[in-house]
Amino acid sequence: MTTIELVRGDITRESVDAIVNAANSSLLGGGGVDGAIHRRGGPAILEDCRKLRASLPQALNSVRAGGTPIGKGLPTGQAVATTAGDLDARWVIHTVGPVFSATEDRSDLLASCYRESLRVADELGARTVAFPAISTGVYRYPMEDAARIAVDTVRTARTDVEEVRFVLFDAPAYEVFAAQLR
């Protein structure tokens, strides 16, 4: 049984085995929670991300950052782990959420982020995992849909993770997740 907890606050302040990052395919950092994790976690995380990137089999040449082909990248819905640097955690699990689309249902990709992150957590032996609300910032996923997918996926996941903590940045997001859990 996995216990689900809700916390309002900054995920970079959490003390858990693994903190999940809402990254992008480049794995080279960005804004939002990604920026906060790299800032507080320090350069060791980016160093690990660069190494991981170099070893990825996929060449995502269509993915561009600032107009430059990034070459290799992590596909949407997948997850990989690095050191957590100076964070109070052992690992950061980087996953790439889908950009919300009004015309295409991408809920499977968002569910995959949670499932794959938990699979990576199991591989690592992580027992406590903190998740942000993946895709609900820059990637514009509606909070209600994102919360339903997050909670349903974690509830039905087959995992050895004992505690999943959803860390919501603001009160409205917290309320949406709380309603979903009830």
- In angstroms, rounded to a whole number, what is the distance separating the alpha carbons of residues 47 and 51? 7
Task: Tell me the window of 28-36, 70-78, 101-109, 121-129 that interacts with ligand AR6 (CB under 6 A).
Answer: 28-36
The minimum distance between CB 1 and ligand AR6, in angstroms, equals: 25
Q: For residue 79, what are its two tokens?
A: 């997850």
Closer residue to ligand AR6, CB minimum distance, 112 or 135 = 135
Residue 174 as a binder of ligand AR6 (CB under 6 A): the answer is no
Residue 30 as a binder of ligand AR6 (CB under 6 A): the answer is yes
Residue 12 as a binder of ligand AR6 (CB under 6 A): the answer is yes
The minimum distance between CB 108 and ligand AR6, in angstroms, equals: 16
- In angstroms, rounded to a whole number, what is the distance separating the alpha carbons of residues 13 and 7? 11
Single residue of 135, 153, 159, 180 touching ligand AR6 by CB under 6 A: 135
Residue 11 as a binder of ligand AR6 (CB under 6 A): the answer is yes
Give the orientation angle of helix 107-124 with respect to helix 143-156, to 10 degrees. 40
Q: Which of residues 58-87 bind ligand AR6 (CB under 6 A)?
A: none
Contacts for 67-74: CB closer than 8 Å, 24+ residues apart = 70/25, 70/26, 70/28, 73/25, 73/26, 73/27, 74/23, 74/25, 74/27
Single residue of 74, 97, 131, 166 touching ligand AR6 by CB under 6 A: 97
Cα 171 from chain centre: 20
Closer residue to ligand AR6, CB minimum distance, 160 or 170 = 170
What phi and psi values does residue 28 have, to the nearest 5 degrees?
A: -105, 15
Cα 113 from chain centre: 7
Residue 36 as a binder of ligand AR6 (CB under 6 A): the answer is yes
34 is catalytic: yes
Q: Which of the residues are catalytic?
A: 34
